Structure 1
């Protein structure tokens, strides 16, 4: 741990905010994917049951995550300083590449699926294809927000510290 790095506490604050965010965001991706599935199923005249079940599960898990993070969400306790500043810096640098890899990989897999499985291009497959694209979009949005938290952790920590 580099205790001389003045960013350690700010990064620790960003990591705490990131953990609180992860607790509800990633389960909500299940619900979001389910909503995409249900909407597309209704559009093509299919049963939206799977999507509805996913929405309920995602909402329940996201709510649980939100409730389980009440203490760190509203604490006035100063954060534990980040212990590995070079790793945080690396995460900030490489996250855009990870996001593009996730989105590009999903798009490539979707194209391969559409080209190799003739039934995949039928309207009946639209709900599943939508679900498969909603997942990486949600994960990528979460990664982008986490990166933003870490980049802006100094300002966010200062604002938090100056609150009364």
Structure 2
């Protein structure tokens, strides 16, 4: 029996009804000749998303939470709907993000304090312990913190 005969004897399976949760594009499909039709539909009713006429929110996060609760939808879906409904909150949210980034960049450019003599002295003790006991530096640091608690406090300002 040839391969052709075996394939002809197989029954064809046709999926007629199913629900797709995720659709991904691939470079090598499992069924190269399979055909598929995809359609989308917006199930929202016109008066479902009239939240902007009913309420006002202080933050985008508040608006997203309200939409998620009112619509009973996941947060990522609520984010999209709230973004369409409350563009002013989206812009304010983005502006706050830009300000936070600017502050972080500014603080990164700020001069850092120099290493003090107390820090250098404590680090010397850590190196000495690591060398004498043959332990890694992080273990030597723990040992030094116990043995020289006052020096550690002077160097780093923390409790031992």
TM-score range, shorter chain: under 0.3
Structure with bigger RCO (C-alpha 8 Å, 6+ apart): 1
TM-score by length of 2: 0.24
The structure having more radius of gyration, on CA atoms, is 2
Larger relative helix fraction: 1
TM-score, normalising length: structure 1 = 0.24
